[in-house]
Structure 1
Amino acid sequence: MTRFRTTRISLVPTLLVVLGYAVGSAEAAEIVLREQVVPQGELLRLSDLAAISAETAENQRALESLVMFPTPATSRDIEASTIRDRLDLLGIDLLEHRVTGAARVSIRLARDSSELSDEPLSFADTQVDSGFEIRGDVRTVGFAEINEATIESFCRARTQRALEELGWEWTGMRLSSETRSLLEQGCRWLGAEVRPVDSDSEETPDATPPRVVLVVDYQGARRSLPLDVQLEPMPRVVFLRSVVERGTVLNESHVTLRPWPRRDSARTTSDLGEVIGREVRGGLVVDRPIDPAQLTPPTLVKRNTEVRISTDIPGIRVSSFGKALADGGMDDIVLVQLNDPRRPVRARVTGESEVVILGGGQ
């Protein structure tokens, strides 16, 4: 096991800074890991391990001051994945904060280490081992103030996909008094899980929202803490059920309604009437929502095919046959060819393979 050189110190102010950042930060930042670091003290802060670029000076200072690990007693490497795990444990949203740079950070110790102690590092009189896990009585180190926004961000990021697969969207969360009380006693967040609930309804088995729990390590035991999460059913939009060719007129066998996230609901429709009976222009993908813009009214008259031609003049109605010179849907104006191929006339599409010549042949 790697031995860490540390001193017994108080980290109340530092940990409060960590909490303050986790609570208030919403701006994105870029964290570029360095290849090599020479520690200058007993603790490695994020500013030692990486170059940081944040959107505001306040967030820049907060990120730079994050306590990451005790300084090791000997030179060693820290994997980028370990640093990401530590940031995640501190409540840093890794979706908003981009971690790039070296795949591992080499810690190279300075020559003069006489002032450093070999005692195990203590946070509020609780030792920290080489696994970098900060534990202890959280009330003595500033963690008694539980921030629901931080917990919600942590849990939501880990359950969003599973909830959407069940057809539900996260809209809010609050902590029960029992869950809050246990969190205030001190525990390590391991993750969050979605647990479906058996429904008593046979007609709508998916009508009961699932439960969301926060999984923690509490005094060495794994526990699941229930969360009061507000969920809403996702809207049901029209999906393409099977492969169709360009020019296909959609019917009920081609489409179905499925849940879809509201954030991605642009260019979708929940109305089957908007797609049934319309023709596929192109760009539709199986098992994806249908974009109504990719549909057109059905083609009733096709180019170079025979059409029935009616002449609509007050008091006179004559029918004959000719050839359409263009495709057309209902009420489209197309050119049709009668006996004289040099003199096509304009006609309005009135049905499948049927047109009516405009008054006066115009």
Structure 2
Amino acid sequence: MAKFTTQALTLLALALPQISLAAAGPNAAIRQQAEARINQRLQEAGLEASSTQLQLLPPRDVPACPAPWQVEAADTRAFSRMRFTLSCPGMGWRGNVIVRAAVSARVAVAARDLRAGETLQAEDIAWEERPLADPADLFGRAAPPQDMQVRSALSAGQPLRRRQLQPPQLVKRGAGLRIVARQDGIEVTVAGEALANGRQGEIIPVRNLSSGKTIKARVSADGEVNPVE
């Protein structure tokens, strides 16, 4: 069995971190950054990834870096082509790395054929694993699209996309409504009249029936609006 002197063991111990770093290379740092960006966008969209596969396309002639690699996101809008900047501190070397990500998650899909104008109920929504291109346009279990209205007809199994849905119409032009003002724990309600149709979150003109004045108000609930400045 080979024997090592104390000096040889010390030199070997000092070399191990460098050997480990050299063996790992920059790929681990790139993967970590790519996965972090993907997870951030999924969380913002209320989605959970079922699977993520990454293909790294690093630049040619990547040097050996004595210090930990630094990775910065340059463009991560499209999962199919994310771009990162790879650099080695102290050497002045920089290069671009392309990462192609194939990401899938369980998203909301139409449980049946839907007609334009229908309001989604819980039984109209199913959950299936689908590949993701733009997670912000899809719905996850954290925020299902229940009570949203369908803009145009959808087929069963078709993903429910935000651009294909709209908030329900809660106020009709000419109908009576409640104008509710809240401030510092105080709530004041007066009768009003809608001067336009309004969906949840929209700002429409309404007439205060007590004063006769026309104000702008945000639709907050069925038959209710809140004044805006």
Q: What TM-score results when the alignment is normalised by the length of structure 2?
A: 0.43
The higher relative CO (CA closer than 8 Å, separation ≥ 6) is in 2
Q: What TM-score results when the alignment is normalised by the length of structure 1?
A: 0.29
